[in-house]
């Protein structure tokens, strides 16, 4: 699997490098339209629920669908996406180089990344937090039971830094066993190279579904970091950042207004709600304000559905992961999701 991952990454980078003209010159939309496709940086294919490559070569997952929705907004066609599989160690540099237009790869929005990488986060599509997964037979009830343990974690990530902070703050010792990918950490845990695996809890839940005996593993209750995950873009193109941000806002707002994948086309014609009319292009010039077609939002929602639909089929009860929405619920249901108004 590791060898395959490296090959996939190398091929993707080589392919993307031939299609990057104009991508990093500050007009990303122009580059996408000239190229005829969006370059979306994703995981190497093992990030279950977020970006997974199946045996038939099809990309699936929440971040994959977000990029397809973005392609629908910019190009009017959700199929016009080329997925660029990236190991985390090269993800940000690939985006900076222009070999990807957007990074949708469970990238945590943090102060140092935001201020030092010349990159921007265009919102948050998943509020997560870091925890531990261990074998049930280990008998651990909390991370504080892991003094002296070996912990698998991805190298160069905020997870690695958070892990060190956690053990230092609790005056505990540990040994880090670093891997390059989620699947590598998962495999290391399964074969006993480490006592625990530390990652975002959503990632741990996804990894558990892919293990040989999922019921043998437990995610401890500790949540010891904030992990706001969202789409990442270069800092030199405010227009493209706006398009990415409002693509995310539109699917959140769609859930607030009860607009679904199934009814969006009908509501675009019949809704009498003034805000829905503006969102779906029946009144005003909201598409023109972003340099998009008037019905761009109809195409995005028609591709992805609303946020609730997107979450449910990839991470929630409609998926093998069955991860509770928690903070990823709408603000009106006690969560943190909230779209600015379409006015």
SS (H, E, C) 261-286: CCCHHHHHHHCCCHHHHHHCCCCCCH
CA distances from 172 to 33, 179, 195, 211 (A): 53, 22, 15, 28
What is the mean pLDDT of the segment spanning 121-134? 96
pLDDT score of 18: 43
The per-residue pLDDT for range 252-291, each reduced to its tens digit, is 999 999 999 999 999 999 999 999 999 999 999 999 999 9
> Can you tell me the distance from the alpha carbon of 220 to that of 241, in angstroms, rounded to the nearest whole number?
37
Question: Would you state the pLDDT for residue 25?
Answer: 58
**Alpha-carbon span 121 to 233, nearest angstrom:** 6
- Average pLDDT value for residue range 20-31: 72
pLDDT for the residue numbered 1: 37
For 1-19, how does the pLDDT look when each residue is reduced to its tens digit (9 = 90+)? 333 343 344 444 444 444 4
Domains annotated for the chain, with CATH where assigned, are 130-226 (3.40.190.10)
Number of helical (H) and strand (E) elements in the chain, helices listed first: 14, 15
Residues 65, 310: Cα–Cα separation, whole Å: 8
Question: Which pTM was predicted?
Answer: 0.87
Decide if 94 contacts 43 (C-beta within 8 A): no
CA dist 173 and 342 (Å) reads 51
Alpha carbons 296 and 282: distance in angstroms, whole number: 11
44-68 confidence digits (pLDDT tens) = 998 889 999 999 999 999 999 999 9
Q: In terms of C-beta density within 10 A (0-12 exposed, 13-18 middle, 19 or more buried), how is residue 23 classed?
A: buried
Distance CA 121, CA 162 (A): 20
């Amino acid at each position: 699997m590791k060898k395959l991952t490296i090959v996939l990454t190398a091929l993707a980078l080589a392919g993307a490098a031939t299609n990057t003209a104009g991508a990093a010159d500050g007009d990303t939309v122009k580059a996408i339209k000239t190229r005829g496709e969006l370059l979306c940086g994703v995981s190497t294919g093992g990030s279950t629920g977020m970006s997974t490559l199946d045996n038939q070569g099809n990309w699936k997952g929440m971040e994959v669908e977000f990029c397809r929705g973005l392609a629908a907004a910019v190009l009017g066609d959700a199929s016009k996406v080329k997925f660029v599989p990236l190991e985390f160690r090269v993800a940000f540099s690939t985006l900076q180089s222009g070999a990807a237009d957007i990074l949708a790869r469970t990238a945590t929005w943090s102060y140092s990344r935001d201020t030092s990488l010349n990159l921007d986060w265009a919102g948050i599509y998943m509020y997560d937090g870091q925890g531990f997964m261990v074998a049930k037979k280990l008998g651990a009830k909390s991370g504080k039971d892991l003094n002296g343990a070996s912990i698998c974690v991805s190298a160069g990530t905020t997870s690695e830094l958070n892990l060190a902070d956690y053990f230092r703050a609790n005056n505990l010792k540990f040994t880090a066993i670093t891997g390059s990918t989620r699947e590598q950490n998962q495999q290391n845990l399964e074969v006993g190279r480490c006592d625990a695996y530390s990652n975002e809890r959503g990632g741990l839940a996804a990894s558990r579904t892919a293990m040989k005996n999922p019921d043998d593993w437990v995610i401890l209750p500790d949540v010891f970091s904030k992990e706001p995950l969202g789409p990442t873009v270069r800092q030199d193109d405010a227009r493209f950042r706006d398009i990415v941000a409002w693509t995310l806002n539109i699917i959140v707002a769609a859930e607030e207004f009860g607009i679904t994948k199934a009814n969006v086309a009908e509501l675009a014609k019949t809704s009498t709600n003034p805000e829905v009319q503006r969102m779906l292009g029946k009144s005003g010039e909201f598409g023109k304000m972003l340099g998009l077609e008037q019905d761009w939002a109809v195409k995005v929602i028609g591709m992805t559905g609303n946020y609730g639909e997107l979450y449910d089929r990839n991470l929630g009860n409609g998926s093998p992961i069955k991860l509770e929405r928690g903070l990823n619920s709408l603000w009106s249901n006690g969560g943190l999701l909230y779209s600015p108004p379409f006015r």
